[in-house]
Structure 1
Amino acid sequence: MTTLFIADLHLQADAPELTQAFLDYMTWRASGADTLYILGDLFESWIGDDAIGEFEQQVIDALRAYTRAGGHLYVMHGNRDFLLGGRFAELTGAVLLDDPALISLGDDAPLLLMHGDSLCTQDEEYMAFRAMTRDPQWQQQTLALPLEQRRQLADRMREGSGTANSSKSDDIMDVTPEAVDDIMLKCHVRTLLHGHTHRPDVHDFRLHDDEVAKRFVVGDWRWNEDIGWEVRQEGITLTLESFSLRELPY
């Protein structure tokens, strides 16, 4: 049994090479896995399930082919595609995950899954933005706007995020150790897997209760650097792996 975890692909219509890399990934790499978890930011932006065009349909078709072939697909919202909804899940055959989500690695070993943005508690400006955009009333009001207004809103949010992040220190935009400890102790887990920070690594550390813990950070996909990331589970073993986006079909 093989399970794959990916995050932060940031697919968008004006980056067709990356989209093709994802389609190749689904055909040549994910197809051999029993289960695929996408831990947020599959899309650079998602303005609603009623805004599915040719680009979005390509991605949906690839995911649907995976589930129709018997694969189990789970998708978590990210800070870019937090408006993914029930229609998307229906079209792809995916299950939308809560954040955080607790699953089993086997032998009753729990694994905590998160997108990761809620752990960046030092970034108070972003945490306020996150609280607003995850509010059901705000989402309902946003989805009631005409499509063009939603596109303009998404563009403004992306521009604002880029401007704000350019002036923030690396530490502020990374996870807060105390937030990691708190959520892992609350959920009674010793292994955490998340994305969001674009800093792929495996961290071994001790929690506040002195228990040994492990944090897997799955990296983002970068076409210009020809690198994609996944965490692969075989049995109860997790491995962080990188691969060439351009060589997936070969």
Structure 2
Amino acid sequence: MTTLFISDLHLDAERPAVTELFGAFMQGEARRADALYILGDLFEAWVGDDDPSETGAYVAARIREVADAGVPVFFIRGNRDFLLGDTFARRAGIRILPDPAVVMLYGKPAILMHGDLLCTGDTAYQAFRAQTRNTAWQAQFLSQPLAARLAFAAQARAASAAHQGGMKQDNQASFETLTDVTPSAVEATLAQFGIDTLIHGHTHRPALHDLTLGDRACRRIVLGDWYEQGSVLRVEPSGMALEKLL
């Protein structure tokens, strides 16, 4: 009995080895799981469900095989694939969850998030996030030709890389703080839901953090990214383990 969690795969045609690793994972242990949760940034970029990319088709097919094998697959949108919609969900056989979402794991509740909402110190990003999650903005963006949307996504990635590169150069310590979660946001989320376990990705800092909130012992689990190798959280009735896929 195992439930699997992955996040921040950033699958892209330019990194075929990672896409192949994802395929092997889906054709292997994912098919034997009780459930699979993908907590955002499955793709490096997603500009609409009408994107005919081979990577998108391959990923959808591998997920559908898992779903057809009887394993429920759940997805939370990330900051790179927040435009992933119902058409892709039906194609892949996934259920899209809100961010945050509360699920039961072997009788115990857990909060699931992509994780970007917890990075409140990066005010520029939070402003961009608020804009791009607006339904009117999304409708206007999706009405543009596919080529224009792909160009926008490329420009946005370049601007993000430049922004982060500038922060690193100016002040490495400040960069680390701004791109990680804000402790007060974590505490507020745990307090809001009254739940002791929080699982998220986004920051690319895989770890299991134990913390105390009042008289409650809580745990925050951060999933790893798939840039250099795979990363998976395995949760069983007896406990959990965050491990690499080589």
| TM > 0.5 | yes
In the alignment, which residue of structure 1 is the partner of 2:215?
Answer: 210
Superposed CA deviations along residues 8-64 of structure 1, whole A, max 9, x for unmatched, are: 000011211111111111112212212100000000000100113222111110001
SS of equivalent residue, structure 1 residue 111: strand
| Cα displacement (A) at 1:236 | 5.4
Verify the 8 A CA contact 1:39 1:195 in the aligned structure 2: yes
Aligned CA RMSD, in angstroms, stands at 1.0
Verify the 8 A CA contact 2:11 2:55 in the aligned structure 1: no
SS of equivalent residue, structure 1 residue 126: helix
Q: Which amino acid aligns with 1:71?
A: V
Counterpart CA distance in 2 for 1:75 and 1:125 is 26
Counterpart CA distance in 1 for 2:227 and 2:129 is 24
Residue 64 of structure 2 is aligned to residue 84 of structure 1 = no
In the alignment, which residue of structure 1 is the partner of 2:38?
Answer: 38
Counterpart CA distance in 2 for 1:123 and 1:236 is 37
Residue 222 of structure 2 is aligned to residue 220 of structure 1 = no
- Over 3 Å counting, the alpha-carbon distance change for 1:243 and 1:55 in structure 2 is closer
In the alignment, which residue of structure 1 is the partner of 2:113?
Answer: 114
Counterpart CA distance in 2 for 1:53 and 1:214 is 38
| Cα displacement (A) at 1:170 | 0.4
SS of equivalent residue, structure 1 residue 167: helix
Number of equivalenced pairs: 239
| Cα displacement (A) at 1:242 | 1.4
In the alignment, which residue of structure 2 is the partner of 1:234?
Answer: 236
Verify the 8 A CA contact 1:204 1:212 in the aligned structure 2: yes
Superposed CA deviations along residues 116-167 of structure 1, whole A, max 9, x for unmatched, are: 0000000001110111111111111100000010001100110011111123
Alignment of 1:136-175 (within 5 A): 136-168=135-167, 169-175=175-181
Verify the 8 A CA contact 2:21 2:230 in the aligned structure 1: no
Superposed CA deviations along residues 205-246 of structure 1, whole A, max 9, x for unmatched, are: 112x231110000100123xxx211111112522211120xx
Superposed CA deviations along residues 171-212 of structure 1, whole A, max 9, x for unmatched, are: 1110000000001110111110000000000001112x2311
Larger mean CA deviation between 185-194 and 47-56 belongs to: 47-56
TM norm structure 1: 0.93
Verify the 8 A CA contact 1:111 1:189 in the aligned structure 2: yes
| Cα displacement (A) at 1:82 | 0.4
Verify the 8 A CA contact 1:38 1:74 in the aligned structure 2: yes
Runs of 4+ in 1 over 3 A off after TM superposition: none
TM norm structure 2: 0.95
Counterpart CA distance in 2 for 1:9 and 1:52 is 19
Alignment of 1:39-118 (within 5 A): 39-107=39-107, 109-118=108-117
In the alignment, which residue of structure 1 is the partner of 2:198?
Answer: 192
Counterpart CA distance in 2 for 1:134 and 1:117 is 13
Q: Which amino acid aligns with 2:179?
A: M
